[in-house]
Amino acid sequence: MLLLLTLPFITGHHWFVFDPPGPHPPQANLAAVSRAQVEPSPPNPAPSPTGTGRGFVKFSNLSAHGVSDASTPLIWYDGADFREQLAPKSALQLISRGKPDCPRKCAICDLAWKVERNNLQVALFFRDPVQLSHIFIKQVKNSGVSKVQLIKWTYPPQGRIDGLLGRSVLNVSEDGTVCLAVQTVRIPPKKSGINRPVPADGSREALPPQLTLSAVGGVLITMKQAPNAGDIYGPFVEYVRFSGRVLYPSDPSLYLRTAAQR
């Protein structure tokens, strides 16, 4: 409401307009302001790993999770007694995480698997079904890869080979790979199945029918020695690594960290 007041002056009448005082503004809730200053905002949710939620995760530079050969039953890299059984030149070197590289020279290396005349095969296994696009094999003293065969996936993974050997992705009479070179075995997409759709309702325990023929549980590598090979001939295999994708992984982090852990 406006109030008009007339005040007499010598020169006449002057009109003055007064605004009455308005209502008092509401008081701030100091307790709420104080809490807002000291209580942090909730953190943003962490992003989902690439590929998870679609039934698969792509990986590269991955070492297998388990190994067996003529002298060693199936052993997993994270088994309770793995470190106790990890010996120089044993097949367990092929799944050892974080080990140093062999020296950059064509020579014996304790951190590689040494092939023996009575131990010419090694089987490498995965914890989950995979589809492979590349296999990388590095030999540091002599060479002798003769055959690489895929092992069909079966649940649970137990290191079995009998009745599970699949197609050969490499079969040569002579390995021409030079010392320290990385031999690359390429598996075409039509054979690996790596581009096939992955249904969301599948699982590692029960793969969808369209994935069972291409799902791999491991590989069997057969080596060959020269006829006159001596005790220190080898060959010596420093590593076997893989690229591809894993289907319905029980622990996706095992495959997302492959660049660091190999």
205 contact partners, CB below 8 Å, separation of at least 6: 155
Q: What are the two backbone dihedrals, phi and then psi, of residue 28, each rounded to the nearest 5 degrees?
A: -70, 145
Q: Cα–Cα distance between 240 and 115 in angstroms, integer?
A: 14
Q: What is the pLDDT of residue 195?
A: 96
The two structure tokens encoding residue 227: 């006829």
Ramachandran assignment for 127, one of left (phi > 0), alpha (psi -120 to 50 degrees), beta (any other): alpha
Peptide bond into 100 cis (omega under 30): no
Q: What is the pLDDT of residue 256?
A: 82
Percent of the chain that is helix, strand, coil (3-state, to 5): 15, 35, 50
- Closest-CA residue to 236 (of 64, 99, 109, 105): 109
Return the biggest CA–CA distance within the chain: 135
191 in Cβ contact with 149 (< 8 Å): no
Say whether 149 sits in a helix, a strand or coil: strand
Query: How far does CA 148 lie from the centroid of its chain?
Result: 22
119 in Cβ contact with 71 (< 8 Å): yes
Q: What is the pLDDT of residue 206?
A: 95
**DSSP state letter for 190:** H
* Each residue's pLDDT expressed in tens, for the chain with a length of 262 residues: 444 444 443 344 443 343 445 555 445 454 443 443 444 444 443 333 344 456 999 999 999 999 999 888 899 999 999 999 999 999 999 999 999 999 999 999 999 999 999 999 999 999 999 999 999 999 999 999 999 999 999 999 999 999 999 999 999 999 999 999 999 999 999 999 999 999 999 999 999 999 999 999 999 999 999 999 999 999 999 999 999 999 999 999 889 865 444 5
Domain 56-261 -> CATH class = mainly beta
Q: What is the pLDDT of residue 49?
A: 39
User: CA 5 → CA 1, 15, 20, 21, 189, distances in Å?
Assistant: 13, 6, 13, 16, 95
Domain locations along the chain? 56-261
Q: Cα–Cα distance between 198 and 254 in angstroms, integer?
A: 19
